[in-house]
Structure 1
Amino acid sequence: MTRTPSPPPSMPTPPPRHGRRVHARFVSISWHDFAVLVLPIIALCVLAIGLMVYWVDPAPPKHITMSVGPRDSTFWPYAEQYKRILARDGVTLNLETSDGSVQNLQRLADPKQHVELGFAQGGVSDGIATKSLVSLGSMFYAPVVVFYRGANLTELGQLAGMRIAIGREGSGTRSLALSLLKANGIEPGGSTQLLPLDGEDAVQELIQGRIDAAILNGDSASRNNMLRLQRMPGVALMDFSQADAYTRRFYYLAELDLPPGVLDLGQNLPPQTIHLISPTVELIARSNLHPALSDLLISAAQEIHGRSNVLQRAGEFPSPIAHDVFPISDDAQRYYKSGKSFLYRSLPFWLASLADRLLVVVVPLIVVLIPGLRIVPGLYAWRVKSRIYRWYGSLISIERAAMSEATPEEREELLHRLDTIEDAVNRMKMPLAYADAFYVLREHIGFVRSRLTGAPTQPVAQD
Structure 2
Amino acid sequence: MPRPSQMSMVALRELVISAGPFVLLTLVLLWLAYLILDPNPPAKIVMATGSEQGAYAEFGKRYATELARYGIEVELRTTAGAAENRRLLRDVNSGVDIAFVQSGAGDAIYAVDEDKSGRPLFSLGNLFREPVWLFYRADAAQRTVSDDTLDRLQQVVPLSLNIGAPGSGAANLIDKLLNANKIDPAQMKLQRLPPTPAVVALLGGEVDALAFVSSPESALVRMLLQTPGVRLFEFPQADAYARRFEFLTSVTMPRGTVDLAQDVPPNDVKLVAATASMVTTDRFHPALVQLFVQAAQRIHGESSWFGPAGEFPNGVASEFPLAKEAARFYRDGPPLLQRYLPFWVANLIDRMWVVLASIIVILIPLSRIVPPLYAFRIRSRVFRWYRQLREIEEAAAQTDVKPAELLPKLDELEHRVEQVSVPLSYAEELYALRGHIDMVRKKLKGGAPNAEEFSA
TM class by shorter chain equals: 0.5 to 0.7
CA contact (8 A) 2:242 2:248 kept: yes
CA contact (8 A) 1:68 1:75 kept: yes
CA contact (8 A) 1:253 1:278 kept: yes
1:44 deviates by 10
> 1:389 — aligned with what?
none
RMSD: 3.1
CA contact (8 A) 1:230 1:236 kept: no
Count of residue correspondences: 338
Cα distance, 1:182–1:230 mapped onto 2, change above 3 Å: farther
Matched, 1:203 2:199: yes
Q: Where does 1:168-187 land on structure 2 (aligned, <5 Å)?
A: 168-187=165-184
Give, in whole Å, the separation in 2 of the partners of 1:221 and 1:44.
56
Matched, 1:213 2:194: no
1:131 deviates by 5.3
Matched, 1:302 2:297: yes
- When Rg is computed on C-alpha atoms for both structures, the one with the higher figure is 1
Give, in whole Å, the separation in 1 of the partners of 2:54 and 2:212.
13
Q: After superposition, what is the alpha-carbon deviation per residue over 1:203-238, rounded to whole angstroms, capped at 9, x for unaligned?
A: 3444444433322221798466455455524x4322
- Out of 130, 138, 154, which is 2:126 matched to? 138
Matched, 1:366 2:360: yes
- Unpaired runs of 5+ residues, structure 2, are 1-17, 108-114, 372-456
TM-score normalised by L of structure 2: 0.66
Q: Where does 1:9-408 land on structure 2 (aligned, <5 Å)?
A: 52-53=33-34, 56-126=37-107, 127=115, 129=117, 132-148=120-136, 149-150=141-142, 151=147, 152-190=149-187, 192-218=188-214, 222=218, 225-226=221-222, 228-229=224-225, 231-233=227-229, 235-323=230-318, 325-370=319-364
1:202 deviates by 3.2
Q: After superposition, what is the alpha-carbon deviation per residue over 1:31-90, rounded to whole angstroms, capped at 9, x for unaligned?
A: xxxx9xxx9x99998997688556534421111111122322221221111111111111
Cα distance, 1:330–1:225 mapped onto 2, change above 3 Å: closer
Cα distance, 1:207–1:358 mapped onto 2, change above 3 Å: closer
CA contact (8 A) 1:155 1:240 kept: yes
Secondary structure in 2 matching 1:189:
helix
Give the AA of the match of 1:143. Answer: P
> 1:459 — aligned with what?
none
Secondary structure in 1 matching 2:279:
strand
Percent of pairs with identical residues: 38
Secondary structure in 2 matching 1:90:
coil
Give, in whole Å, the separation in 2 of the partners of 1:110 and 1:166.
25
Give, in whole Å, the separation in 1 of the partners of 2:61 and 2:223.
26
Give the AA of the match of 1:291. Answer: P
CA contact (8 A) 1:65 1:115 kept: yes
1:200 deviates by 3.9
TM-score normalised by L of structure 1: 0.65
Secondary structure in 1 matching 2:186:
coil
1:356 deviates by 2.4
- Unpaired runs of 5+ residues, structure 1, are 1-34, 378-463
Give the AA of the match of 1:203. Answer: V
Cα distance, 1:60–1:100 mapped onto 2, change above 3 Å: same
Give, in whole Å, the separation in 1 of the partners of 2:194 and 2:51.
12
> 2:11 — aligned with what?
none
> 1:27 — aligned with what?
none
Cα distance, 1:181–1:315 mapped onto 2, change above 3 Å: same
Cα distance, 1:239–1:63 mapped onto 2, change above 3 Å: same
CA contact (8 A) 2:128 2:215 kept: no
Cα distance, 1:111–1:83 mapped onto 2, change above 3 Å: same
Cα distance, 1:43–1:371 mapped onto 2, change above 3 Å: same
1:274 deviates by 0.8
Give, in whole Å, the separation in 2 of the partners of 1:88 and 1:43.
36
Give the AA of the match of 1:218. Answer: S
Give the AA of the match of 2:103. Answer: G
Give, in whole Å, the separation in 1 of the partners of 2:132 and 2:350.
43
